[in-house]
């Protein structure tokens, strides 16, 4: 029968061998992981980056005339400072017709003893299109019942002037239509024309007696009632 000392010594050697084996196995696993990470982290050949067309950020600057050359990817602000623009009707703002004629609002809107309706719109504004179509369908009848001026003024940016011309020619409107070429009416009208369409009714003296923004079917009938009241 083996002595207790022999048994203990054998057990100790067995445990030591197992620890040595576990240590070696642990070292192997760690080395394998390090090699794998190193390989994965190696820099790959750089592929050419896909070119993207980056448009210049929209900028606003003051200018006395449109840019002379090059593609315009930004807005050129040509409006005068607010304090240089006449703030009362008929104002003193340059307007352009669909045939390219420039006329000042002091002449185009000059008081003639009639109330005046100013309708502000955009070529890209769908509600504007609906409202103007509704008014056009009733315009002849309105004119037979009340004596008034109706002037539609586009507030499109200069780059959309051609779209303004096309819309005017296609629509065949019977009222006067102008393009606010320097976008100055927003500096004289209440609310700065935020949200279109907008309609203003001015009495015979040029005072605003009615104002509405946006459009819902039937608004044109409310508008005509205001026109008739101003025409009395």
**Residues 110-163 pLDDT 10s:** 989 999 999 999 999 999 999 999 999 999 999 999 999 999 999 999 999 999
Shared domain for 101 and 179, answered yes or no, is yes
- 190 lies in a domain? yes
Average pLDDT over residues 162-187: 98
Q: Are 185 and 170 in contact (CB under 8 A)?
A: no
Angstrom CA distances, 198 to 19, 28, 102, 230, stand at: 88, 79, 23, 18
Angle between helices 219-231 and 126-145 (to 10 degrees): 40
Q: Give, as one character, the DSSP assignment of residue 193.
A: G
Q: Which of 30-34, 35-39, 61-65 has the highest mean pLDDT?
A: 30-34
Q: Are residues 36 and 130 in the same domain?
A: no
In a domain, 17, yes or no: yes
C-alpha span between 65 and 94 (Å, rounded): 13
Please write the tens of the pLDDT for every residue from 178-232: 999 999 999 999 999 999 999 999 999 999 999 999 999 999 999 999 999 999 9
Same domain, 161 and 215: yes
Which band of pLDDT confidence, cut at 50, 70 and 90, is reported for residue 75?
confident
pLDDT at 34 over 80: no
If one compares 45 and 120, the residue with the highest pLDDT of the two is 120
Query: With bands split at pLDDT 50, 70 and 90, how would you rate the model's confidence at 68?
Result: very low
Do 96 and 192 lie in one domain? The reply is: yes
pTM for the model stands at 0.69
Q: Which of 228, 227, 232 is nearest to 117 (CA)?
A: 227
- Structural domain including 25 reads 1-40
Mean pLDDT for 10-26 is 58
> Of 12-21, 68-77, 83-92, where does mean pLDDT reach its minimum?
12-21
| Residues 212 and 106 both lie in one domain | yes
Q: Which two structure tokens, joined as six digits, stand for 125?
A: 């504004």
Q: Is residue 73 part of a domain?
A: no
What letters, b where the CB count within 10 A reaches 16 and e where it falls short, cover 79-112?
A: beeeeebeeebbbbbbbbbbeeeeeebeebbeee
92 against 37, higher pLDDT: 92
Residues 194 and 131 in one domain: yes
Between residues 72 and 87, the one the model is more confident about: 87
Instruction: Collapse the DSSP code of 91 into the 3-class scheme (helix H, G, I; strand E, B; otherwise coil) and give the result.
Output: coil
* Strands 176-179 vs 102-104: parallel, antiparallel or unpaired: unpaired
Q: Do residues 18 and 111 share a domain?
A: no
- The H-or-E segment that residue 137 falls in is helix 126-145
Question: What is residue 111's predicted lDDT score, i.e. its pLDDT?
Answer: 85
Is 79 inside any structural domain? Answer: no
- Predicted confidence at residue 115, as pLDDT, reads 98
Number of domains in the chain: 2
Mean pLDDT of the chain: 82
Whether 169 and 190 have beta carbons less than 8 Å apart is answered as no
Are residues 176 and 99 located together in one domain of the fold? yes
The CATH number that applies at residue 181 is 3.40.30.10
């Amino acid at each position: 029968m083996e002595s207790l000392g022999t048994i203990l010594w054998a057990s100790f050697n067995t445990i030591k061998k197992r620890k040595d084996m576990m240590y070696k196995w642990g070292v192997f696993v760690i080395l394998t992981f390090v090699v794998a990470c190193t390989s994965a982290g190696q820099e790959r050949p750089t592929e050419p980056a896909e070119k993207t067309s980056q448009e210049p950020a929209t900028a606003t600057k003051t200018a006395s005339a449109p840019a002379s050359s090059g593609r315009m990817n930004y807005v050129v602000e040509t409006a005068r400072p607010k304090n240089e623009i006449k703030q009362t009707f008929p104002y003193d703002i340059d307007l352009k017709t669909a045939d390219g004629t420039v006329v000042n609002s002091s002449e185009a809107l000059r008081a003639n003893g009639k109330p005046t309706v100013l309708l502000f719109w955009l070529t890209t504004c769908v509600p504007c299109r609906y409202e103007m179509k509704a008014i056009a369908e009733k315009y002849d009848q309105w004119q037979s019942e009340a004596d008034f001026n109706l002037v539609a003024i586009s507030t499109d940016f200069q780059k959309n002037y051609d779209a303004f011309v096309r819309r005017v020619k296609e629509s065949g409107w019977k009222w006067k239509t102008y393009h606010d070429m320097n976008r100055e009416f927003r500096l004289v009208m209440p609310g700065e024309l935020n949200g279109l369409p907008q309609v203003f009714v001015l009495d015979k003296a040029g005072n605003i007696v009615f104002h509405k923004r946006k459009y819902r079917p039937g608004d044109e009938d409310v508008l005509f009632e205001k026109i008739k009241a101003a025409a009395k």
